[in-house]
């Protein structure tokens, strides 16, 4: 905020607020005992555009830690990716869970 010559406050202009970054959300996969490892690697590659090696690293981290981050996005994109994961796991009848 600035003051003009009369001392009135000038609010931030639109061009300034446009550069503000939206809040970001982590998209997380949860481990379970039934979903095959290859399926999880495939989903991470497809939905989060990761290489085979990076997707394998993320899958193994989830497998050992119980939860892991697949990506960090603005809300609408995070929701879309979560729904893509849930649709793929439902179609394949795996219990893979994804949360934001
Ligand atoms: N734990 C699963 C298995 O042993 C593999 C797995 C990894 C499942 C990550 C879900 O988000 C997951 N087949």
Residue 42 Cα to ligand 1 midpoint, Å, equals 12
Residue 59 Cα to ligand 1 midpoint, Å, equals 7
The pTM of the full predicted model, rounded to 2 decimals, is 0.84
Condensed to tens digits (0 to 9), the pLDDT of residues 10-28 reads 455 555 567 899 999 999 9
Would you state the pLDDT for residue 18? 76
**CA 72, CA 99: separation in Å to the nearest integer?**
12
94 pocket-lining for ligand 1 (C-beta < 6 Å): no
Give me the phi and psi of 10, to 5 degrees please: -105, 125
The dihedral built from the CA positions of residue 63, 32, 96 and 35, taken in this order, carries a sign that is positive
Q: How many CA atoms lie within 13 A of 23 on its CB side?
A: 4
CB atoms under 10 Å from CB of 99, counted, come to: 14
82 pocket-lining for ligand 1 (C-beta < 6 Å): no
32 pocket-lining for ligand 1 (C-beta < 6 Å): yes
């Amino acid at each position: 905020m600035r003051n003009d010559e009369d001392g009135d406050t000038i609010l931030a202009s639109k061009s300034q607020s446009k550069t503000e970054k939206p809040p970001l959300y982590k998209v997380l996969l949860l481990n379970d005992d039934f979903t095959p490892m290859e399926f999880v690697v495939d989903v991470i590659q497809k939905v989060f555009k990761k290489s085979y090696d990076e997707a394998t690293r993320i899958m193994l981290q989830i497998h050992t830690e119980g939860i892991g981050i697949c990506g960090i996005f603005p809300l609408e994109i995070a929701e879309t990716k979560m729904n893509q994961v849930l649709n793929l796991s439902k179609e394949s009848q795996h219990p893979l869970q994804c949360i934001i």
